[in-house]
């Protein structure tokens, strides 16, 4: 349902520390100084902030409020009349946004490698975020890969300090297998211990899970990943193929989806998960079973329009939504290395809100 753009600006002003009473005084004082006729009262602002569909908005009042929000630099140009609340709006409500990319170190060459799918994924989110707010500063961090991993092995990492400070918005790109920051963020969001394979009781409570071929996962353990032992207990045939390194698997509720490691076309699943933190910042995880699914999930982030209830100094529920990527093999080109292409991207189910 669309809302007045002024509704989002009011919410932003309140989150920045303004009270409704102070906003009434400031808007009316500025309007009087500008010799305008628009005046607001407490009841009107509260109804508008709450998104009341029957609030009466005159041109004079809209002009007075627009002048005020331009004065305090929440907007630079005249806002659109109507807007939809989008997940991306929550991301840019703080001045700094950090993008975390899984990276594989190559010490001899003095470089690190980042997947081109992850870079494309980050670009989709960054483009939408920069359009939503021109005031934000965007940063990027490499999340160096090592396995087996534990909280002890990542204690000195710069990206973990960003999470521990918990004042900036953070976007983690990639699955737990691709980026260790995704494992830590998902674990904290859903209230489980990271880097530990879930037991049978925990598996039944997971909203989604991954199972990668052993040749890929090796010794890596995740709170959101099954080994072939747990998978075989649910799906014997799929478990056998994953154990033989022929497939990967993804679980969504009580459904198990298999993705073969060879072929000309695939359907890959992924998820987007988000939570507002106590300081008002947003943690956003974009995680696919493989690179193309991560990129597909990122492309859909700007289309996620759902209310994310939040109270200052408290964490919000976790919002998560599954996505599906239709992937095909492109024209043979050995120089490219990866010739997979995204063919179609869509949501694979409704948006969920989970209280940790």
Q: Which of 33, 64, 84 is the last residue of a domain?
A: 84
Q: What are 337-351's pLDDT values in tens digits?
A: 888 999 999 999 999
User: Do 28 and 149 lie in a common domain?
Assistant: no
pLDDT at res. 336: 75
User: Do 209 and 268 lie in a common domain?
Assistant: yes
- Total Cβ atoms within 10 A of residue 201: 7
- The number of distinct structural domains making up the chain is 2
Global pTM reads 0.81
Q: What are 151-179's pLDDT values in tens digits?
A: 999 999 999 999 999 999 999 999 999 99
- Total Cβ atoms within 10 A of residue 327: 25
Integer Cα distance of 212 and 228 in angstroms: 8
User: Do 189 and 75 lie in a common domain?
Assistant: no
Checking if the pLDDT of 119 tops 80, the result is yes
Please indicate whether residue 89 or residue 186 has the higher confidence score (pLDDT). 186
The tokens describing 107, both together, are 């010490």
User: Do 118 and 59 lie in a common domain?
Assistant: no
> pLDDT band for position 82 (50/70/90)?
low
User: Do 103 and 221 lie in a common domain?
Assistant: yes
pLDDT at res. 135: 78
User: Do 11 and 124 lie in a common domain?
Assistant: no
**What is the average pLDDT across 137-142?**
96
| Residue 345 structural domain | 90-354
Percent of the chain predicted with pLDDT > 70: 97
User: Do 144 and 286 lie in a common domain?
Assistant: yes
pLDDT at res. 50: 86
Please indicate whether residue 144 or residue 50 has the higher confidence score (pLDDT). 144
Residue 207: closest CA among 282, 118, 290, 269: 269
Q: Between vectors from CA 204 to CA 202 and to CA 207, what angle results, nearest 5°?
A: 95
Peptide bond before residue 148 is cis, with ω within 30 degrees of 0: yes
User: Do 32 and 101 lie in a common domain?
Assistant: no
User: Do 210 and 106 lie in a common domain?
Assistant: yes
Q: What are 14-50's pLDDT values in tens digits?
A: 888 899 999 999 999 999 999 888 999 999 999 999 8
User: Do 314 and 165 lie in a common domain?
Assistant: yes
């Amino acid at each position: 349902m669309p809302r007045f753009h002024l509704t989002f600006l009011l919410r932003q002003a309140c989150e920045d520390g303004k009270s409704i009473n102070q906003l009434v005084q400031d808007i009316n004082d500025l309007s009087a100084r500008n010799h305008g006729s628009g005046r607001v009262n407490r009841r009107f602002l509260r109804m508008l902030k709450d998104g009341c569909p029957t609030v009466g908005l005159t041109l004079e009042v809209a002009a007075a409020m627009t002048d005020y929000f331009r004065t305090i630099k929440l907007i630079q140009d005249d806002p659109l009349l109507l807007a939809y609340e989008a997940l991306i709006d929550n991301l840019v409500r703080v001045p700094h946004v950090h993008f975390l990319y899984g990276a594989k170190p190559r010490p001899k060459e003095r470089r690190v490698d980042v997947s081109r799918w992850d870079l494309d994924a980050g670009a989709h989110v960054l483009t939408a975020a920069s359009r939503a707010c021109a005031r934000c500063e965007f940063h990027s961090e490499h999340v160096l890969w090592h396995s087996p991993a534990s909280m002890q092995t990542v204690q000195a990492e710069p990206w973990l300090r960003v999470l521990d400070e918990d004042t900036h918005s953070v976007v983690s790109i990639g699955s737990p297998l691709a980026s260790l920051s995704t494992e830590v963020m998902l674990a904290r969001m859903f209230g489980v211990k990271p880097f530990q394979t879930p037991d049978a009781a925990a598996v039944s409570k997971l909203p989604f899970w991954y199972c990668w071929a052993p040749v890929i996962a090796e010794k890596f353990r995740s709170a959101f990943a099954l080994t072939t032992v747990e998978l075989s207990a649910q799906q014997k045939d799929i478990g056998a193929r994953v154990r033989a390194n022929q497939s990967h698997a993804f679980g969504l509720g009580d459904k198990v989806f298999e993705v073969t490691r060879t072929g000309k076309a695939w359907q890959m699943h992924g998820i987007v998960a988000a939570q507002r933190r106590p300081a008002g910042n947003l943690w956003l995880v974009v995680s696919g079973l493989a690179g193309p699914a991560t990129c597909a999930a990122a492309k859909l982030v700007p289309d996620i329009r759902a209310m994310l209830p939040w109270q200052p100094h408290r964490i919000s529920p976790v919002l998560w939504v599954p996505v599906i990527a239709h992937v095909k093999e492109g024209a043979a080109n050995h120089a490219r290395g990866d010739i997979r292409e995204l063919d179609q991207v869509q949501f694979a189910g409704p948006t969920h809100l989970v209280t940790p």
